[in-house]
């Protein structure tokens, strides 16, 4: 390989990435594992014995498994109905857009907010309860609330997965199946369900892992029903913090979630990817359109019903007693220097997370996708991406708390930002890598023959063409940094409070008006960022159609 | 035989590109074995063979993207084997052109001048643009260009760098009918105008034999025959050349002759049978 590229820059990037993830991912994880095997009486499995003997711990694991599992299946089914309506029926385009938007919206809010939104929608004085004549159909605290919350939380992810796969399924299979004499049911099963099996499984597993490790929802609507996330929180930040037991619970939480993500990566290999995707005209079928349309509509209404509280409560004097319009709550939040300071903190954290996160992601993806780096180098980056995906936010946060308490990094913005970058690394990395993989592989060589060095090519060619994806990565980091609570709750300090952790604090003082104002601020900020990115992406993408082979 | 040898000695004095005993294997599988090749200055040479025969690997070895396990690449007698790609002074147009979609046609053409402004004058660039008939397309985005225009922009961009050897990887495969012929003519014009040594990789015998001064046929990593087009047609050296190269051309010819007039076509069909 004497004549090959030297690529000093790539090796430097790889080294930096390895150091970053070594210090802030591998080391903390090793420490928490060691901690879990340490107790007052020395080294051993003492901690594990104690925790499994502890009253209620088994029940909380069972609760976690049941609620997460059940909601994962329900969510995937609901997301399927929505995605099918958008992809395979002839309902009007505007209605499809509406369904799509509703399926995405929950992404822009923290899970802790859904919890409170559910209380305000289905509680005794809730919006929906009142609309239904004051009758409460179920007690929202416990299983129903948890499942409801998990469903809303994971609906966007499940929808994206299923909707994207539907986009890859060749529509001609519908025609082929019909021509070969299948009836409606059989053709639905061969042309839609069968190709979706892998994605459906992936969706269930992904939703399960997310719900299993979420803290925001059980915190709000768990009531007396303990789940593993609440146990973990109480061990670490409760009345009697116990780091040893806490780290044992963290490991117990890590194992199922890690197992499911590894299973997920395994399943993804079997996913069917059709090479050519041809659009065919849908047959007109009013029965199909109306029935799927109504199904998707009901789901959308249910999401809107819960989300509506986020829009209504902040503008109402005192829900549910005085329902006249007011802006007092907003005025109060903005005049409260502490609350507006928290908002600024969140914007600051999210912006810096996005900037540095995008850089880390871009560097890693360049190294793995557009370099002659050896197998080991590329494997390292792939493994980092997989590992970050398996580690729940709470576990990462607790590991940081154990490791960085007493160091200058404790409670700093730096630590929060690094934590976010690592916690959310996997998805944007894969986004970036896919986009770089699709670019013409001869660009670097061509540019080098015209006198560029590697860095110059990256600046002049690769980056301008990667701009839409870079913008998407930026917004992914931004939105997640705005809504995350699981990891940061363990590492924020009084000076570095962000909106989600502030909401948790306000809950303690029952200040729900403020909670909803802050939630709405998060939602609006995220929507604004998403819109800006969308505009950039559309404008750039129009210009950057890859050169197709035509004459 | 003797005068061929003398001619050979004489050529070695001239400017030329030489490959000597090139051998390359990937993971134990031999891709190229014992490739010897001389290319005279200003000559157009095609490397012809079916897909997977190693022709693209050979092109990459000449260019310097890939190293070889054994053998040497010489240019004007100078050993280039260890010289990095960008210092060899060769240049290539890749199969799918590798145009930069974030730049206009003009931006692509003058790309290299940002790095080496002294290499080509404004007048020379303008002449190139005229020669390739690109005046009207300079401000277009890449995705607004047709396949033939893209190919010409890519050629111009490469020629601005004044390569000592021009390499073309399947330059015509993405083009259809008439455009193919016009690009062929342009490649010939340019090679003549700039006295440019040109090496073309192709899988299409017709392309290779009508475009180049000499053709090297490769089969399974070994040279099957290396000679002028008429030599290959009149004296195919082995079964491979006869079966895969000539046979294909004959079918083509017969089809065309049949189209244009029954008699000739029928006669040839009989002879072929």
**Binning pLDDT at 50, 70 and 90, where does residue B260 land?**
confident
CB contact under 8 A, A446 and B96: no
Residues A226/A57, Cβ–Cβ less than 8 Å: no
Give residue-wise pLDDT tens across range B31-84. Answer: 999 999 999 989 999 999 988 888 999 999 999 988 899 999 999 989 999 898
Torsion-angle region of B28 (φ positive above 0: left; ψ -120 to 50: alpha; else: beta): left
| Chain B residue with Cα closest to A550 | B147
User: A462: closest CA among A476, A448, A474?
Assistant: A448
Q: What pLDDT does residue A548 have?
A: 35
| Chain A residue with Cα closest to B160 | A450
Report the CATH number that the domain containing residue B175 is assigned in CATH. 3.40.50.300
**Binning pLDDT at 50, 70 and 90, where does residue B197 land?**
very high
CB contact under 8 A, B115 and A449: no
Residues B74 and B172 in one domain: yes
Chain centre distance of CA A440: 30
Residues B260 and B172 in one domain: no
The Cβ-side half-sphere exposure at A459, using a 13 Å CA radius, reads: 6
**Predicted-complex ipTM score:** 0.80
Q: Read out DSSP for A153-171?
A: HHHHHHHHHHHHHHHHS-T
Structural domain total, chain B: 2
Q: Is the dihedral of CA B135, B141, B144, B148 positive or negative?
A: positive
Residues B214 and B250 in one domain: no
Residues B154 and B271 in one domain: no
Domain residue extents for chain A: 64-224+273-324, 336-544
Residues A208/A282, Cβ–Cβ less than 8 Å: no
Place of tokens 């305000």: A120
- Six-digit token pair at B132? 């390739």
- List CB contacts of B46: < 8 A, sequence separation 6 or more: B199, B200, B201, B202, B207, B208, B209, B211, B212, B214, B215, B216
- List CB contacts of A126: < 8 A, sequence separation 6 or more: A119, A120, A136, A140, A309, A320
* B contacts of A456 (beta carbons < 8 Å): 115
Using a CB–CB cut-off of 8 Å, the residues of B that contact A are 64-67, 81-86, 90-92, 94, 96-102, 111-112, 114-116, 141-143, 145-148, 150, 157-158, 161, 174-176, 179
Give the Cβ contact number of residue B43 at 10 Å.
18
User: Residue B104 gets which letter from DSSP?
Assistant: B
Q: What pLDDT does residue B177 have?
A: 79
Residues A261/A386, Cβ–Cβ less than 8 Å: yes
Residues B172 and B243 in one domain: no
User: Residue A283 gets which letter from DSSP?
Assistant: P
Residues B143 and B215 in one domain: yes
CB contact under 8 A, A550 and B147: yes
Quick check: B158 pLDDT over 90? yes
Q: What pLDDT does residue B60 have?
A: 92
* B contacts of A464 (beta carbons < 8 Å): 102
Residues B200 and B261 in one domain: no
Q: What pLDDT does residue A538 have?
A: 79
C-alpha distance from A369 to closest chain B C-alpha (Å): 17
pLDDT along chain A (551 residues), means of 10: 59 94 95 88 82 88 95 97 93 94 94 91 83 79 93 95 86 80 83 86 93 93 90 85 87 90 81 64 84 95 90 85 85 88 95 97 93 86 91 94 92 96 95 92 90 90 93 95 94 93 91 91 95 83 45 31
φ, ψ of residue B72 to 5 degrees: the values are -140, 150
Q: What pLDDT does residue A6 have?
A: 59
Residues B98 and B162 in one domain: yes
Choose among B85, B86, B99: nearest Cβ to A547. B99
The reply to whether A336-544 shares the fold of A64-224+273-324 is: yes
User: Residue A189 gets which letter from DSSP?
Assistant: I
C-alpha distance from B27 to closest chain A C-alpha (Å): 14
CB contact under 8 A, A544 and B101: yes
More confident residue, B233 or A190: B233
Alpha-carbon span B101 to B140, nearest angstrom: 10
C-alpha distance from A519 to closest chain B C-alpha (Å): 40
First to last CA, chain A: 37
User: A128: closest CA among A297, A307, A299, A326?
Assistant: A307
- Cα dist from B112 to A111, A404, A464, B160, B166, whole Å: 52, 50, 17, 7, 15
Alpha-carbon span B182 to A86, nearest angstrom: 47
B197-202 and B44-48: which strand pairing? parallel
**Binning pLDDT at 50, 70 and 90, where does residue B1 land?**
very low
3-state SS, residue A89: coil
Residues B212 and B228 in one domain: yes
CATH number of A336-544: 1.10.3720.10
C-alpha distance from B250 to closest chain A C-alpha (Å): 28
Domain span at B258? 238-273
Q: Report whether CATH 1.10.3720.10 matches the domain A64-224+273-324.
A: yes
Residues B156 and B96 in one domain: yes
Choose among A5, A442, A450: nearest Cβ to B161. A450
Q: Give the relative orientation of helices A286-312 and A143-168 as an angle to the nearest 10 degrees.
A: 130
Residues B67 and B47 in one domain: yes
Quick check: B207 pLDDT over 50? yes
Burial of B167 (0-12, 13-18, 19+ CB in 10 A): buried
| Chain A residue with Cα closest to B162 | A450
Q: What pLDDT does residue A2 have?
A: 36
Residues B87 and B118 in one domain: yes
Q: Please work out, in degrees rounded to the nearest 5, the angle formed at the alpha carbon of residue A338 by the alpha carbons of A336 and A339.
A: 70
Q: What pLDDT does residue A551 have?
A: 31
- Six-digit token pair at A463? 């980056």
């Amino acid at each position: 390989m004497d004549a090959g590229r030297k690529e000093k820059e790539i090796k430097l990037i790889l080294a930096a990435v390895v150091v970053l993830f070594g210090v802030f991912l591998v080391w903390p994880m090793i420490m928490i594992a060691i901690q879990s095997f340490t107790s007052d009486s020395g080294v051993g499995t003492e901690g594990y014995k104690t925790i499994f003997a502890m009253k209620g711990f088994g029940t909380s694991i069972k609760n976690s498994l049941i609620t997460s599992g059940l909601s994962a299946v329900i969510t995937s089914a609901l997301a399927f109905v929505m995605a099918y309506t958008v992809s395979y029926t002839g309902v009007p385009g505007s209605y499809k857009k509406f369904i799509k938007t509703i399926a995405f919206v929950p992404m822009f809010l923290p899970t802790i907010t859904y919890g409170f939104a559910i209380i305000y929608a289905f509680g005794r004085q809730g919006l929906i309860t009142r609309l239904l004549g004051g009758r409460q159909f179920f007690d929202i605290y416990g299983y129903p609330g948890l499942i409801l919350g998990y469903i809303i939380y994971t609906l966007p992810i499940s929808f994206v997965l299923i909707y994207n796969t539907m986009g890859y399924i060749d529509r001609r299979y519908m025609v082929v199946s019909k021509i070969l004499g299948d009836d409606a049911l059989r053709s639905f099963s061969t042309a839609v369900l069968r190709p979706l099996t892998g994605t459906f499984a992936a969706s269930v597993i992904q939703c399960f892992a997310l719900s299993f490790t979420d803290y925001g929802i059980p915190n709000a609507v768990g009531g007396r029903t303990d789940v593993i996330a609440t146990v973990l929180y109480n061990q670490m930040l409760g009345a009697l913090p116990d780091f040893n037991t806490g780290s044992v619970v963290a490991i117990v939480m890590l194992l199922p979630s890690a197992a499911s993500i590894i299973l997920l990566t395994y399943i993804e290999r079997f996913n069917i990817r059709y090479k050519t995707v041809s659009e065919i005209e849908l047959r007109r079928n009013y029965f199909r359109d109306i029935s799927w349309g109504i199904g998707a509509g009901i789901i959308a209404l249910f999401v809107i019903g819960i989300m509506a509280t986020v829009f209504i409560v902040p503008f109402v004097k005192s829900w549910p007693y005085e329902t006249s319009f007011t802006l007092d709550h907003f005025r109060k939040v903005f005049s409260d220097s502490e609350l507006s300071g928290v908002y600024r903190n969140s914007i600051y954290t999210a912006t810096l997370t996005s900037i540095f996160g995008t850089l880390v992601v871009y560097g890693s993806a360049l190294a793995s996708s557009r370099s002659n780096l050896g197998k080991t180098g590329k494997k390292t980056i792939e493994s980092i991406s997989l590992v970050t995906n398996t580690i729940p936010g709470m576990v990462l946060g607790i590991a940081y708390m154990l490791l960085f308490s007493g160091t200058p990094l404790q409670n700093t913005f730096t630590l929060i930002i690094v934590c976010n970058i690592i916690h959310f690394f996997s998805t944007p990395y894969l986004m970036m890598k896919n986009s770089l993989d699709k670019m013409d592989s001869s660009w670097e060589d061509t540019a080098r023959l015209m006198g560029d060095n590697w860095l110059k090519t990256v600046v002049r060619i690769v980056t301008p063409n990667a701009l839409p994806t870079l913008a998407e990565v930026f917004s992914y980091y931004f939105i997640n940094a705005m809504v995350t609570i699981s990891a940061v709750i363990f590492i924020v300090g009084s000076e570095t409070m962000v909106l989600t952790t502030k909401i948790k604090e306000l809950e303690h003082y029952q200040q729900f008006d403020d909670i909803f104002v802050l939630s709405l601020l998060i939602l609006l900020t995220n929507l604004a960022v998403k819109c800006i990115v969308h505009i950039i992406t559309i404008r750039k993408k129009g210009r950057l159609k890859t050169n197709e082979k035509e004459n | 035989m003797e005068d061929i040898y003398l001619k050979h000695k004489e050529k070695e004095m001239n400017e030329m590109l030489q490959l000597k005993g090139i051998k390359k294997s990937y993971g134990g599988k031999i891709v190229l074995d014992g490739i010897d090749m001389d290319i005279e200055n200003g000559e157009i040479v095609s490397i012809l063979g079916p897909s997977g025969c190693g022709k693209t690997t050979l092109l990459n070895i000449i260019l310097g993207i890939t190293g070889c396990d054994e053998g040497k690449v010489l240019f004007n007698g100078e050993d280039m084997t260890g010289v990095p790609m960008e210092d060899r002074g060769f240049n290539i147009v890749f199969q799918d052109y590798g145009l930069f979609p974030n730049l206009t046609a003009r931006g692509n053409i003058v790309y290299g001048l940002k790095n080496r402004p002294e290499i080509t004058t404004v007048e020379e660039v303008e002449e190139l643009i005229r020669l390739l008939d690109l005046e009207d397309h300079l401000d277009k985005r890449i995705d607004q260009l047709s396949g033939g225009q893209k190919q010409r922009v890519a050629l111009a961009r490469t020629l601005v760098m004044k390569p000592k050897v021009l390499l073309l990887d399947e330059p015509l495969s993405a083009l259809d009918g008439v455009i193919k012929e016009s690009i062929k003519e342009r490649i010939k014009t340019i090679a003549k105008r700039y006295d440019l040594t040109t090496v073309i990789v192709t899988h299409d015998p017709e392309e290779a034999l009508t475009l180049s001064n000499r053709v090297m046929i490769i089969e399974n990593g070994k040279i099957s025959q290396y000679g002028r087009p008429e030599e290959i047609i009149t004296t195919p050296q082995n079964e491979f050349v006869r079966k895969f190269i000539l046979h294909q051309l004959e079918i083509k010819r017969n089809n065309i002759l049949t189209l244009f007039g029954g008699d000739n076509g029928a006669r040839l069909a009989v002879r072929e049978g």
